[in-house]
Amino acid sequence: MSVTAEKPTGAASIRSFRVDIPDEALEDLRRRIGAMRWPDKQTVDVLPSMPGYGHFNKVEKGGHFAGREEPQLFATEIWAAFRSVR
């Protein structure tokens, strides 16, 4: 597999690139996907739901990186979650 890219010309420019994947690798991928055993709809429908216990709390601060943005609040929430399973 090889990847080539053009050098960007401006600060906000988009670089185009090309990926060369051998036909044998693509054929192997198609074969493996075709041979995969997918679950039937009935099996998926009878999977158990999540248990009704545990800790869930929506906080007003923090975000995707809550441990970095609000470390004390994040630690408090982690401790509270483990307290509920003791």
21 within some domain? no
35 within some domain? no
The pTM of the full predicted model, rounded to 2 decimals, is 0.35
DSSP 16-76: PEEEE--HHHHHHHHHHHHH--PPPHHHHHTSPPPPS-S-----SS--TTHHHHSHHHHHH
64 within some domain? yes
59 within some domain? yes
70 within some domain? yes
55-79 pLDDT tens trace:
677 778 777 788 888 888 888 888 8
How many domains does the chain fold into?
1
82 within some domain? yes
Residue 23: per-residue pLDDT: 94
Report, as an integer, the average pLDDT of 20-40: 91
**Domain span holding position 70:** 55-86
